[in-house]
Chains A and B, each alone.
Chain A
Amino acid sequence: MKDRGLGSNGFGSLIFHTLFTLFIVAPLLVIILVSFSDKGYISMPFEGASLRWYWAILEAPELMDAFSTSIWLGLGAATLASLVAVPAAIAIARYRFAGRDGLMALLLSPLMVPHVVLGVAFLRFFSLMGWSGSFLALMLVHALIVVPFALRLTLGAIIGLSRDAELAARSLGASRWTAFRRILLPLILPGVAGGWVLSFIQSFDEVTMTVFIATPGTTTLPVALYHRVAMLTDPVTASVSAIMIIGTMGLMFILDRIVGIDKVLIGKK
């Protein structure tokens, strides 16, 4: 146990910690409980549990469509983001060049620009370009806003890696491309894969920007859920949310296997 001179937890600390954890977990727990209710309104399942609100999702075509849109959007955006982030990460980690800091700041800027502003900007841009309702356009901007996540995890993998193995491969006769494919890529693969999964999650979850540019044909699950909740809170919104919670937990488990969940959540280590 690492003692950082902070002493140990007393009784008060434990109470604080318990309340804190409860505060964090309660809303998620409530959703999962409510989703198993057998009543026609929001209620706890203690007087009768059922799966009826899960079956009800199947009968809500707008939610099913939104779900598949979100899945394909996440897959496409995460893949595209990784494809552009990996070479950029190599450039940033392996070369010293004028404009390096600027490049890095630009690629991380979607983290700082409010998503409302991005949504407005894309809404204007798409309407000028005639791209409204285009799935491809939506995927491109989703890729853009998740690049920071793909970049951060990939950079984390490359920066800790000595260049010697690549240089050794080069002097043993490997071309730049071969050295990348056979040495660097396999070594940074966990970081790249972790970045991909995190990008998928971020794209899948995004609502603030997408709510501006989603059209009836390109509505994502969080946007559909947002619109539904804005009108009424019914048990179907709870069962959809419960599925999203469980799905995210599954992806977190995968992330933990690939890179370690602490690395993903804390960012750097």
Chain B
Amino acid sequence: MSTLTIRNLAKTYPPNVRAVKSIDLEIESGEFVSLLGSSGCGKTTTLQMVAGFVTPSAGQVLLDGRDITYLEPDKRDMGVVFQSYALFPHMTVAQNVRFGLEMRKLPEAQIRERVADALMMVQLGGLDSRYPSELSGGQRQRVAIARVLAIRPRVLLLDEPMSNLDAKLRSEMHVELRGLQKRLGITTILVTHDQVEAMTMSDRIAVMANGTIAELGTPQEVYDIPSTEFAFNFLGQSNTITAKVLGHDDAHTQVSIGSSVIQIPLRDAGTSGELRLFIRPERLTLSSPETGIITGRVATRLFLGNTWTYEIDSDFGRLRVIKVNTRGGQPGEGELVGINWNAADMQSASGELADV
């Protein structure tokens, strides 16, 4: 399979809208990488430059070492699955799937075989002669996938392909599509704004903001040890705590927060000044007031079924705590509680998000 290299890729629209500022990304053969970000972060433009739909203003796209930056889209051998599915409404399912094969001028027998294979792969056998308008949303998406798999693309590009499906179907498709991708070993880029989708499917996630990659790593890395304040807040939830640095030794930094003084496992935070610390709500636990590192009073609590979300006023400011809904008593509003955490879960952002 193929490796894809993106170097300093940028797109500026006239007069001076910098949709993509500079993207560097190396995607291994068979790897599944997600570009995750909110709308306007440049993820779709990046994908369109890789697909050849948008001409980059600067930088390069290399496929197996060959420069394809300015190659026409029909010469790239990339399979694109669109958010709208982009099925050809005037063609049947089979005609949609065979379109790419006809473009490659394959012999008729081979076309038939590949169309059947592709439809089988997405479990759509028997629907060959239906028109897209006669299919459900989920089936349309499967046709779109079969259409690109049939051409055996060197790279698979998925542009928010699941955003038009309902929640249950979406999570089924996550598993199914990831299974297919692994089995076929296709190098894949997924563009999505859905964190869960990116987490469940990807080998690596590139979190994008302001036209650059803010964070790159495995799903666990970008969630557990992000390096930017942006990622702390964008992925999942975080409590942000402002601390005053008092001093440090070889392994720890001593900080004061409110009236408490605590040690955090951080070396190079300087000897004075302010420090912003982050801790995720599910890493905070509640106990009786006596056994907590700090204490706080429950301001509100929300019931979400499998979890409770607490807002607690404490010495550290208002903290959000997520607690699994177990049997037994849950602290009520107005109650005094103790709050605990593992020292390692209180982190600071080491990197700054480039904002240029």
Contact = CB atoms under 8 A, between A and B. Distances in A.
Interface of A: 162, 164-165, 167-175, 178, 182-183, 186-187
Contacts of B51: 167, 171
A174 B100 CA distance: 8
In this complex, the member of B87, B99, B147 whose beta carbon has the largest number of chain A beta carbons within 10 angstroms is B99
Q: 7 closest A-B pairs (Cβ-Cβ)? A: A173-B103, A164-B86, A172-B100, A168-B86, A170-B73, A171-B80, A164-B82
Interface string B80-95: 1011111111100000
A194 B118 CA distance: 38
B156 to A, nearest CB: 11
A168 B82 contact: yes
A74 B85 CA distance: 41
Interface in B210-260: none
Given A178-B103, A186-B90, A187-B89, A171 B74 contact: yes
A175 B76 CA distance: 12
A167 B99 contact: no
A175 B83 CA distance: 22
B103 A172 contact: yes
A174 B99 contact: yes
Interface in B71-115: 72-74, 76-80, 82-90, 99-100, 103-104
In this complex, the member of A162, A164, A171 whose beta carbon has the largest number of chain B beta carbons within 10 angstroms is A171
A160 to B, nearest CB: 12
B32 to A, nearest CB: 19
In this complex, the member of A167, A168, A186 whose beta carbon has the largest number of chain B beta carbons within 10 angstroms is A168
A165 to B, nearest CB: 5
B52 interface: yes
B151 interface: yes
Contacts of A183: 88
Given A172-B99, A172-B147, A175-B74, A167 B80 contact: yes
Contacts of B72: 170, 175
B74 A167 contact: no
Given A173-B100, A173-B104, A175-B74, A167 B86 contact: yes
19 contacts: A164-B83, A164-B84, A164-B85, A165-B89, A167-B51, A167-B53, A168-B82, A168-B87, A170-B72, A171-B53, A171-B73, A171-B80, A172-B147, A173-B77, A173-B103, A173-B151, A174-B74, A174-B99, A186-B90
A171 B90 contact: no
Contacts of B52: 170-171
Nearest to A187: B90
A170 B74 CA distance: 5
A170 B75 CA distance: 9
B321 interface: no
Nearest to A189: B90
B87 A165 contact: yes
A99 B163 CA distance: 37
A169 B80 CA distance: 10
A169 B103 CA distance: 9
B190 interface: no
B148 interface: yes
Interface in B135-181: 147-148, 151
Given A162-B84, A167-B51, A168-B87, 12 more contacts: A164-B84, A165-B89, A168-B80, A168-B86, A170-B73, A171-B52, A172-B103, A172-B148, A172-B151, A173-B100, A175-B74, A187-B89
Contacts of B88: 165, 168-169, 183
B78 A171 contact: yes
Nearest to A161: B89
Interface string B35-58: 000000000000000011100000
A165 B85 CA distance: 8
Contacts of B147: 168, 172
Nearest to B82: A164
B67 to A, nearest CB: 18
A167 B73 CA distance: 8
Contacts of A175: 72, 74
A169 B86 CA distance: 9
A60 to B, nearest CB: 47
A167 B103 contact: no
B297 to A, nearest CB: 53
Contacts of A172: 74, 79, 99-100, 103, 147-148, 151
Contacts of A167: 51, 53, 73, 80, 82, 86
A187 B88 CA distance: 9
B61 to A, nearest CB: 14
Nearest to B97: A172
Contacts of A168: 80, 82, 86-88, 147
A99 to B, nearest CB: 14
In this complex, the member of B79, B87, B88, B148 whose beta carbon has the largest number of chain A beta carbons within 10 angstroms is B88
B153 to A, nearest CB: 8
A165 B147 CA distance: 12
Contact of B103 (A162, A165, A174): A174
A183 B90 CA distance: 8
B76 A171 contact: yes
A167 B81 CA distance: 10
A168 B76 CA distance: 12
